[in-house]
């Protein structure tokens, strides 16, 4: 009954992703207590983005999907979010902060 | 006049089933479109009633008809009802709902039950808003500016905010349905470059609905929480920033203007080629300009906030970005004009509305450039100049498109022809009434009359009298179609399948269409707007 | 990235008459499934913007009131927060595995994994309730007898209070300011975690229905679209938390800062 092209992922890959996510969670909590100066926030957001990316790619199956629109929608929505954040913050960072 | 022809009618979506249940539980996109038509018409009249109160109050300089508080409520509820309950759902939820599946050769939208759900959400929000209205209304201005809305107003801000929060979901679900339908349900052979421009414009509109609406939803939730739980996020007395509210509000509410105008442009792109008997000029440019308007519309919002205390640098950037929207808008106007050039133009009712649209939208759009200019905006901000500008876009643009579209597709929707003579008369009355109402407001605004006041200095009276007189004419212009369209349901001529000899797929099925739109799924091998290959419409339909 | 197979090349065209899940207006199950997942992806795009408005407010105030945000963030329980993140990650694993079980047609495994998902979801919500209750005890719920006194006591240096000891008027003013600004943090904390929790509650309800459908054997290797799109939703809610965790709990945990 292979009438559709859905990709069945190996269970071991899901376990691997899970392990990475758990390790990254503890890593991000630990690294926050190390003094990296301004880089603490950068590292925290970097780890969060890595975690989010593998959830999207593996758990949500974007890596395997044949749906051509998924990636544009995802990139588009994140881009739209950045429009909101960057243009609003551009105002705040170029005026006197009360 | 009892000449209503008795024909052996074939089954169509109107007579397929009878009874109230068959309407309230329908998943047929055409029936849902009619449900929407009824509900938005109701709100149009409620909103219109408040417009009437405003214009009557402003007839004289003294505050004699309404108290200041009542006036505040009148313009607030006029704005909120017209924007959120009429203009935003008007063309998409009625004409878009009815036509998109037919234009792409589908049996229905991708999610028919979600489509019905969106109407029920709309109704729930509408009931809540009417409750708010009946228990005393709201006076914050349609914009809900904080901290007035969150701290000081003693009116029903929570109910109004929640109603608009809820109605947003109806809009999101409609947009979701359209986008997925356009992606997934097109008939064989109907490639993106063969899509009618109506569909392109609605696709762009849907993107705005999907990516903009949630932002205002969460913003209104925060205002409601601020009122009920005293949060203080937008309250300057407690370290909050009211300008942040304006950022979040306009991030949606500026693109919302394009939710109103893009569907109207969609209608124009169908009417103008049809009544010029020509291919639309520059198909790709018109299609892409819709997408460009949707995208650029999201990066201009702070031009509503030039005097609200945003940084000068940010204001400069937003001023420049705002000019960008003029480019795709102008592309559309020039291409429609070029479509009419050397076409065999017939001045039928829809075409009269379309030509009215081009004129009014041009004025509305160009005065928008005045307002986007930082220096000019500081002078005319919050004056009647702004009021006149956005009414030229939202009424002169969106409502003209809505009425034009209603006439154009009325034969398809109802299976009857409207009386052409009355139609043309109404179109002209609307055009005259509209200009008489709003053009004086440009002048009085430029002279310095601020918006949202119930009294004004006597030297502004002549403009306000002109405006109120125009509003009366406009009201007649809006009532006329109501009357003769209803009349035509019973006494109008039976409409042929394709009275205008138009090219769209929706004209290749019966009028009114069967429940599943087409007897068999059409296969498209042609481009949109091949008017050079279509015969001229028969004389009978262009009753002179 | 190959396109989906044409209708004519698959046995679907022959088969679709017999499929109860196929709704009348779709040509085939493949089209129906693609429409549903596409719709969910667009909806998730909408959800990104929904949380985006609050993230925008968060960023603005975090820039303005960094010391207060850092101190308030430190008052959240790091260990509980970390473990709760892990719980949510476990639930995402069970969701992914249950979709896989559906693909392989293993019904019992599927139901077990779905029940595990609901369990993890409820644990997360329970822990969240525990944390909120702690905040209540610490007088950290905005406007409900909110008090930043504990924050002030623990963060004298961060707030620059040690330099104001000789000027009681300024000291009082600064303390009132800290009170107001940390209240903004907690307003956003409750708005963000509250909105996330509402999404979790909806998710648990959704998975209740999905589990029942799985138990009834509605899902086959060919058709398990409801499970699939509910799974997408669940993973999305997980991702929101993946960002909320560092943004709320880890603003500044450096020792001695």
CB contact under 8 A, A95 and B247: no
pLDDT of residue B56: 96
| Tokens representing residue C115 in the block | 């029940």
Closest residue, chain C, to A16 (C-alpha): C93
How many CB atoms are closer than 10 A to CB B105?
A: 23
In a domain, C45, yes or no: no
In a domain, C98, yes or no: yes
pLDDT of residue C22: 80
Full set of structural domains in chain B with CATH: 29-520 (1.20.210.10)
Rg (CA), chain B: 23
Give strand pairing partners of B416. B494
Interface residues on A facing B, Cβ-Cβ cutoff 8 A: 69, 76-77, 80, 83-84, 87-88, 90-92, 94-95, 98
**How do residues B224-248 score in pLDDT, each as one tens digit?**
999 998 888 999 988 999 999 999 9
pLDDT of residue B536: 79
Please name the member of B177, B184, B218 whose beta carbon is closest to the beta carbon of C50: B218
- Residue the block writes with tokens 């940084």: B311
CB contact under 8 A, B314 and A69: no
Phi, psi of B450 (to 5 degrees): -75, 155
Using a CB-CB cut-off of 8 Å, the residues of chain A touching B310 are 91, 95
CB contact under 8 A, B176 and C42: yes
Q: Which helix (H) or strand (E) holds B97?
A: helix B97-103
DSSP per-residue letters across A7-73: PPPPHHHHHHHHHHHHHHHHHHHHHTTS--TTHHHHHHHHHHHHHHHHIIIIIS-TTT---TTHHHH
How far apart CA B102 and CA B104 sit, in angstroms, is 5
DSSP per-residue letters across chain C: -PPPPPGGGSTHHHHGGG-TT--TTSSSHHHHHHHHHHHHHHHHHHHHHHHHHHHHHHHHHHHHTHHHHHHHHHTS-HHHHHHHHHHHHHHHHHHHHHHHHHHHT-HHHHHHHHHHHHHHHHHHHHHHHHHHHHHHHTT-STTSS---HHHHHHTTTTTT-GGGTT-HHHHHHHHHHHHHHHHHHHHHHHHHHHHHHHHHHHHHHHHHHHHHHHHTT---SS--HHHHHHHHHHHHHHHHHHHHIIIII-S---TT-
Are the CB atoms for A83 and C50 separated by under 8 Å?
no
pLDDT of residue B540: 43
Are the CB atoms for C38 and A67 separated by under 8 Å?
yes
CB contact under 8 A, A87 and B299: yes
Chains within contact range of chain A (3+ C-beta pairs < 8 Å):
B, C
In a domain, C241, yes or no: yes
pLDDT of residue C24: 79
Question: Is the Cβ of A6 closer than 8 Å to some Cβ of chain C?
Answer: yes
Q: Which residue has the higher pLDDT, B108 or A66?
A: B108
pLDDT of residue B147: 92
CB contact under 8 A, B241 and A83: no
pLDDT band at B532 (very low <50, low <70, confident <90, very high): confident
CB contact under 8 A, A25 and C85: yes
CB contact under 8 A, B231 and C56: no
The answer, yes or no, to whether residue B10 has pLDDT greater than 90, is no
Average pLDDT over residues B136-143: 94
CB contact under 8 A, A88 and B244: yes
Please name the member of C4, C12, C45 whose beta carbon is closest to the beta carbon of A73: C45
Average pLDDT, chain B: 93
How many beta-carbon pairs below 8 A join chains A and C? 161
Phi-psi region of A50 (alpha: psi -120 to 50; beta: other; left: phi over 0): alpha
Using a CB-CB cut-off of 8 Å, the residues of chain C touching A98 are 64
How many beta-carbon pairs below 8 A join chains B and C? 112
Using a CB-CB cut-off of 8 Å, the residues of chain A touching C61 are none
CB contact under 8 A, A95 and B251: no
Please name the member of B221, B225, B240 whose beta carbon is closest to the beta carbon of C184: B240
CB contact under 8 A, A80 and B298: yes
Among candidates B215, B145, B113, B149, which has minimal Cα distance to B382?
Answer: B145
Among candidates B309, B468, B454, B440, which has minimal Cα distance to B384?
Answer: B440
How far apart CA C231 and CA B235 sit, in angstroms, is 39
Closest residue, chain B, to C58 (C-alpha): B233
In a domain, C25, yes or no: no
Are the CB atoms for B263 and B401 separated by under 8 Å?
yes
Q: Which of C 76-105 lie inside 8 A of A, CB atoms?
A: 78, 81-82, 85-86, 89-90, 92-93, 95-97, 100, 103-104
Mutate to test the interface with C, among A59, A63, A90, A95 (most CBs of C within 10 A): A59
Please name the member of B184, B214, B239 whose beta carbon is closest to the beta carbon of C35: B184
**How do residues A24-82 score in pLDDT, each as one tens digit?**
999 999 999 999 888 999 999 999 999 999 999 999 999 988 888 899 999 999 999 99
Please name the member of B112, B229, B241 whose beta carbon is closest to the beta carbon of C60: B241
How far apart CA B167 and CA B163 sit, in angstroms, is 6
Domain span at C78: 51-249
Question: Is the Cβ of C61 closer than 8 Å to some Cβ of chain A?
Answer: no
Mutate to test the interface with C, among B106, B110, B146 (most CBs of C within 10 A): B110
Which ipTM value was assigned to this complex? 0.92
**How do residues B16-49 score in pLDDT, each as one tens digit?**
889 999 999 999 999 999 999 999 999 999 999 9
Number of domains in chain C: 1
pLDDT band at B440 (very low <50, low <70, confident <90, very high): very high
Q: Which residue has the higher pLDDT, B75 or C165?
A: B75
**How do residues B167-205 score in pLDDT, each as one tens digit?**
999 999 999 999 999 999 999 999 999 999 999 999 999
Give the sign of the dihedral formed by CA B6, CA B8, CA B12, CA B18. Answer: positive
CA distances from B258 to A98, B324, B358 (A): 34, 14, 16
Give strand pairing partners of B450. B383
CB contact under 8 A, B211 and C49: yes
Cα angle, residue B289 at apex, residues B286 and B292 outer, rounded to 5°: 165
Name the H helices within B381-419: 384-393, 400-414
Residues 6 or more apart from B193 whose CB is under 8 A from it?
B283, B284, B527
CB contact under 8 A, B112 and C25: yes
What CATH number does the domain containing C198 carry?
1.20.120.80
CB contact under 8 A, A6 and C30: no
DSSP per-residue letters across B504-526: SGGGGS-SSPPTTS-SS-----S
Question: Is the Cβ of C179 closer than 8 Å to some Cβ of chain B?
Answer: no
Please tell me the distance in Å from A52's CA to the nearest CA on chain B: 20
Using a CB-CB cut-off of 8 Å, the residues of chain A touching B324 are none
How many CB atoms are closer than 10 A to CB A68?
A: 12
Chains within contact range of chain C (3+ C-beta pairs < 8 Å):
A, B
Question: Is the Cβ of A19 closer than 8 Å to some Cβ of chain C?
Answer: no
Closest residue, chain A, to C57 (C-alpha): A85
In a domain, C93, yes or no: yes
Average pLDDT over residues B135-139: 94
CB contact under 8 A, B183 and A69: yes
Give strand pairing partners of B494. B416
Q: How many percent of chain B have pLDDT more than 90?
A: 92
**How do residues B501-529 score in pLDDT, each as one tens digit?**
999 999 999 999 999 999 888 999 988 99
Residue extents of the structural domains in chain A: 7-65, 67-98
Q: How many residues does chain B have?
A: 544
Using a CB-CB cut-off of 8 Å, the residues of chain B touching C61 are 233, 239, 241
Q: How far apart are the first and last CA of chain B?
A: 18
Give the sign of the dihedral formed by CA B189, CA B191, CA B193, CA B194. Answer: positive
Q: How many residues does chain A have?
A: 98
SS3 for B325-380 is HHHHHHHHHHHHHHHHCCCCCCCCHHHHHHHHHHHHHHHHHHHHHHHHCHHHHHHH
Please tell me the distance in Å from B183's CA to the nearest CA on chain A: 9
Please name the member of C42, C60, C85 whose beta carbon is closest to the beta carbon of A73: C42
Average pLDDT over residues B51-72: 95
pLDDT of residue B1: 37
Counting beta carbons within 10 angstroms of the beta carbon of residue B483, is it exposed (0 to 12), middle (13 to 18) or buried (19 or more)?
Answer: exposed
Task: Output DSSP code: residue B2.
Answer: -
Q: Give, for all 257 residues of chain C, the pLDDT tens digit.
A: 333 333 333 333 334 445 677 887 888 888 888 899 999 999 999 999 999 999 999 999 999 999 999 999 999 999 999 999 999 999 999 999 999 999 999 999 999 999 999 999 999 999 999 999 999 999 999 887 899 999 999 888 889 888 888 889 999 999 999 999 999 999 999 999 999 999 999 999 999 999 999 999 999 998 999 999 999 999 999 999 999 999 999 999 888 65
Using a CB-CB cut-off of 8 Å, the residues of chain C touching B225 are 191
pLDDT of residue C5: 36
In a domain, C83, yes or no: yes
- In the three-class reduction of DSSP (H, G, I as helix; E, B as strand; rest coil), residue B450 is classed as strand
pLDDT of residue B118: 97
- In the three-class reduction of DSSP (H, G, I as helix; E, B as strand; rest coil), residue B494 is classed as strand
The answer, yes or no, to whether residue B113 has pLDDT greater than 60, is yes
CB contact under 8 A, C39 and B233: no
CB contact under 8 A, A98 and B241: yes
Question: Is the Cβ of A70 closer than 8 Å to some Cβ of chain C?
Answer: yes
Q: How far apart are the first and last CA of chain A?
A: 65
């Amino acid at each position: 009954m292979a009438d559709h092209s859905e990709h069945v992922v190996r269970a071991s890959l899901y376990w691997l992703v899970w392990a990475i996510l758990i390790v990254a969670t503890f890593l991000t909590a630990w690294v926050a207590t190390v003094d990296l100066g301004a880089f603490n926030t950068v590292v925290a957001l970097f780890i969060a983005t890595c975690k989010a990316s593998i959830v999207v790619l593996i758990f949500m199956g974007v890596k395997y999907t044949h749906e051509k629109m998924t990636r544009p929608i995802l990139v588009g929505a994140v881009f739209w979010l950045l429009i909101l954040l960057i243009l609003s913050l551009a105002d705040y960072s170029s005026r006197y902060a009360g | 006049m009892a000449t209503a022809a008795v024909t052996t009618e074939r089954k169509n979506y109107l007579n397929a089933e009878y009874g109230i249940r068959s309407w309230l539980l329908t998943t047929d996109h055409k029936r849902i479109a009619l449900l929407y038509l009824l509900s938005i018409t109701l709100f149009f009249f409620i909103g219109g009633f408040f417009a009437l109160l405003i214009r009557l109050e402003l007839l004289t300089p003294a505050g004699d008809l309404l108290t200041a508080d009542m006036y505040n409520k009148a313009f607030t509820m006029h704005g909120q009802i017209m924007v959120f309950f009429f203009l935003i759902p008007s063309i998409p939820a009625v004409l878009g709902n009815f036509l998109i599946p037919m234009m792409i050769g589908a049996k229905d939208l991708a999610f028919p039950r979600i489509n019905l759900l969106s109407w029920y959400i709309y109704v729930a929000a509408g009931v809540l808003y009417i409750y708010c209205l009946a228990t005393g209304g709201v006076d914050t201005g349609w914009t809900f500016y904080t901290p007035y809305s969150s701290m000081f107003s003693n009116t029903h801000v929570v109910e109004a905010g929640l109603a608009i929060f809820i109605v947003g979901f109806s809009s999101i679900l409609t947009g979701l349905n359209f986008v997925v339908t356009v992606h997934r349900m097109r008939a064989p052979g109907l490639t993106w470059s063969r899509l009618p421009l109506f569909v392109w414009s609605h696709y762009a509109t849907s993107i705005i609905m999907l990516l903009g609406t949630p932002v205002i939803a969460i913003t209104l939730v925060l205002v409601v929480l601020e009122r009920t739980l005293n949060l203080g996020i937008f309250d300057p007395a407690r370290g909050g920033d009211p300008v942040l509210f304006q950022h979040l509000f306009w991030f949606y509410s500026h693109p919302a203007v394009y939710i109103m105008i893009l569907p109207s442009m969609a209608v124009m792109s169908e009417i103008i080629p049809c009544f010029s008997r020509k291919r639309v000029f520059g198909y790709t440019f018109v299609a892409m300009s819709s997408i460009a308007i949707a995208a650029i519309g999201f990066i201009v919002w702070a031009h509503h906030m030039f005097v609200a205390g945003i940084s000068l640098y940010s204001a400069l950037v937003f001023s420049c970005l705002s000019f960008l929207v003029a480019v795709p808008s102008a592309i559309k106007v020039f291409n429609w004009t070029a479509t009419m050039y050397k076409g065999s133009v017939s001045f039928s009712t829809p075409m009269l509305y379309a030509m009215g649209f081009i004129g009014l939208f041009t004025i509305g759009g160009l005065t928008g450039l005045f307002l986007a200019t930082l220096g000019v905006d500081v002078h005319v901000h919050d004056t009647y100049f702004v009021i006149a500008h956005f009414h030229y876009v939202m009424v002169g643009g969106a409502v003209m498109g809505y009425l034009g579209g209603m006439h154009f597709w009325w034969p398809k929707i109802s299976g009857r022809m409207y009386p052409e003579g009355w139609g043309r008369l109404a179109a002209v009355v609307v055009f005259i009434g509209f200009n008489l109402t709003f053009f004086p407001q440009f002048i009085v605004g430029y002279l310095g009359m601020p918006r949202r006041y119930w009294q004004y200095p006597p030297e502004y009276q002549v403009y306000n009298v002109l405006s109120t007189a125009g509003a009366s004419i406009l009201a007649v212009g809006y009532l006329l179609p109501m009357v003769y369209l209803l009349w035509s349901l019973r006494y109008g001529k039976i409409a042929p399948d394709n009275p205008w000899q138009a090219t769209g797929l929706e004209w290749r099925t019966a009028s009114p269409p069967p429940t599943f739109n087409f007897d068999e799924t059409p296969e498209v091998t042609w481009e949109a707007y091949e008017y050079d290959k279509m015969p001229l419409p028969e004389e009978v339909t262009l009753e002179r | 990235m190959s396109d989906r197979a044409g209708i004519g090349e698959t046995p679907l065209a022959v088969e679709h008459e017999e499929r109860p899940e196929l709704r009348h207006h779709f040509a085939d199950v493949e089209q129906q499934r693609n429409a549903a997942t596409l719709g969910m992806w667009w909806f998730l795009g909408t959800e990104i913007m929904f949380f985006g408005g609050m993230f925008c407010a968060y960023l603005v105030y975090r820039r303005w009131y960094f010391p207060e945000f850092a101190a308030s963030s430190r008052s959240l329980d790091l260990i509980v927060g970390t473990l709760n993140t892990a719980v949510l990650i476990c639930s995402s694993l069970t969701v992914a595995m249950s979709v896989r079980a559906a693909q392989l047609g293993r019904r019992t495994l599927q139901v077990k994994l779905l029940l595990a998902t609901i369990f993890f979801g409820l644990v997360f919500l329970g822990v969240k309730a525990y944390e909120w209750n702690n905040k209540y005890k610490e007088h950290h719920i905005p406007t409900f007898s909110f008090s930043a006194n504990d924050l002030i006591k623990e963060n004298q240096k961060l707030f620059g209070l040690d330099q104001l000891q000789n000027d009681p008027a300024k000291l009082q003013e600064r303390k009132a300011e800290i009170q107001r600004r940390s209240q903004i943090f907690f307003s956003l904390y409750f708005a963000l975690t509250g909105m996330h929790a509402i999404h979790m509650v909806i998710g648990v309800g959704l998975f209740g229905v999905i589990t029942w459908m799985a138990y009834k054997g509605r899902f086959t290797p060919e058709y398990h679209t409801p499970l699939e799109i509910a799974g997408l939703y669940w993973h999305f809610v997980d991702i929101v938390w993946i960002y909320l965790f560092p943004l709320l709990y880890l603003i500044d945990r450096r020792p001695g800062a």
